[in-house]
Amino acid sequence: MSREVFDLVKFAENELGWAPKDGTPVWRWRAAYCVRLEDAMKRYGHTTEDIRAAIAYCKTTKTRVEGPGQLARHVGEALTRLADPDERELADDLGQQIQAAIDWESGHGEPDREYWITRLVRSVGPGRADTLTEWKEAGRG
């Protein structure tokens, strides 16, 4: 296990909320995830920069990733998004629109306020745009 892989696992822990779930000691859990991540990187031919991009992509799109194998599968999407500035702007703009909708709901005592805040906060991946569209079509904002 290399120091770079260990740092990637800790980075994913912080950014994606990875944590042991079954009472496993953290040191053992991290060691297992380091081995799994290193194996996934070798299998798919990814670099540490690729994995960092995938972690940032998954955090930005709120994609739920349970482990290194799933993370490695998002590298292609992450690198495509990084290469396309228009795609990056769309993702940033969507995030800003959703935050504005959450702020609007928080500031108004409208019926179904909690319902919409929960939906907007929990929406992930491609469903985020759909949730925002539904919010607008419901006459909110």
User: In the chain, what are the domain boundaries?
Assistant: 3-83, 85-137
pLDDT above 70 (res 115): yes
One DSSP character per residue, 49-86 reads HHHHHHHHHHHHHT----SHHHHHTTHHHHHHHHH-HH
pLDDT above 90 (res 25): yes
Question: Does the pTM exceed 0.75?
Answer: no
Q: Residue 132 in contact with residue 101, Cβ under 8 Å?
A: yes
pLDDT above 60 (res 88): no
Mean pLDDT of the chain: 84
pLDDT (0 to 100) of residue 90: 59
pLDDT above 70 (res 89): no
CA neighbor of 65 nearest in space, from 29, 93, 33: 33
